[in-house]
Structure 1
Amino acid sequence: MNLFTGTISKIESGLAYSSVKQKVIANNIANADTPGYKSKEVSFKGILQNEMKLQSSNGSGKNPSPFGMNTDPGEPRIAERNYSIRQNGNGVDMDREMANMATNQIYYDALIERISGKFSTLNTVIKGGK
């Protein structure tokens, strides 16, 4: 029995991805002047493969928790970029990081808007349309 539709759990996974990505970007910006630091990025491919594996295991009749909730969403994979853009070996491109941060913020805001709408709909149903 699923308490919520799959949409809410997928939005939750998207929010977790966005949160990790924000932390990685902030860490890259914080280390922009650290000699030898290689910038990092969150691997979307790893997250997608993990979600596909979880979906296939849940679809095979196994339900790891009550109400069909995912108790082990897995960790996003963080990869190091192997290039240097400065003589001191630092690989942080501030323009790229700021653009990534803005893109991630738009993605996060869209997910928050969507999950807020879902909860608003559930609240209306619980109240009986009032």
Structure 2
Amino acid sequence: MFWKDPVLGELTRSLDTSALRQKVIANNIANLNTPGYKRSYVPFDEELHQARIRLSLTRTHPRHLAGTDPGGDPRVVTERGTTRRTDESNVDLDQEMLDLVTNQLRYNTLIQQVNGKFANWRYIITEGRS
């Protein structure tokens, strides 16, 4: 069943993480001129590593496949150590815009993958008929 597909589950988690990342980036941009504001981010590499761990299959029997652990929610990290400006804010508009574009491309790629999974299921359900 497609709702038990671990890859689709990870794609959904990744979409949720990307949506959270978009909100965090938008919040950073909105607070660009707020004195003392410290930028936040959602770490991508760590999320990717956790997804790979969750998707690895452990065989408990030669003919069985193990399920996956849904894991925790993505986390938002506040970057406190860097200050580039005299007002003690560490938000860099150029970096935020780069992160915004990168995240949007990642989100679009994930949507294409989800659409592909559903197209495969549609093909299977209709037995290849249009």
TM-score (norm. length: structure 2): 0.77
Could you say what secondary structure the match of 1:77 adopts?
coil
Question: Which residue is equivalent to 1:107?
Answer: 106
Structure 1 residues 5, 105: closer, same or farther in 2, change over 3 A?
A: same
Question: Which residue is equivalent to 2:91?
Answer: 92
One-letter identity of the residue aligned with 1:26 = A
Structure 1 residues 99, 11: closer, same or farther in 2, change over 3 A?
A: same
- Alpha-carbon distance in structure 2 between the residues aligned to 1:48 and 1:114: 16
Question: Which residue is equivalent to 2:7?
Answer: 7
Structure 1 residues 120, 17: closer, same or farther in 2, change over 3 A?
A: same
- Alpha-carbon distance in structure 2 between the residues aligned to 1:21 and 1:5: 24
2:39–2:78 contact (8 Å) kept in structure 1:
yes
How many percent identity over aligned positions? Answer: 35
User: 1:92 Cα shift?
Assistant: 0.5
Task: Compare 95-104 and 119-128 and name the one that shifted more.
Answer: 119-128
2:6–2:55 contact (8 Å) kept in structure 1:
no
Structure 2 unaligned residues grouped into runs of 5+? 61-66
Q: Where does structure 1 differ by over 6 angstroms across 4 or more consecutive aligned residues?
A: none
Could you say what secondary structure the match of 2:76 adopts?
strand
Alpha-carbon RMSD across the aligned residues, in angstroms, is: 2.6
Q: How many residue pairs get matched?
A: 122
Structure 1 unaligned residues grouped into runs of 5+? 62-67
TM-score (norm. length: structure 1): 0.77
Task: Decide which of 74, 77, 93 is 1:76's aligned counterpart.
Answer: 74
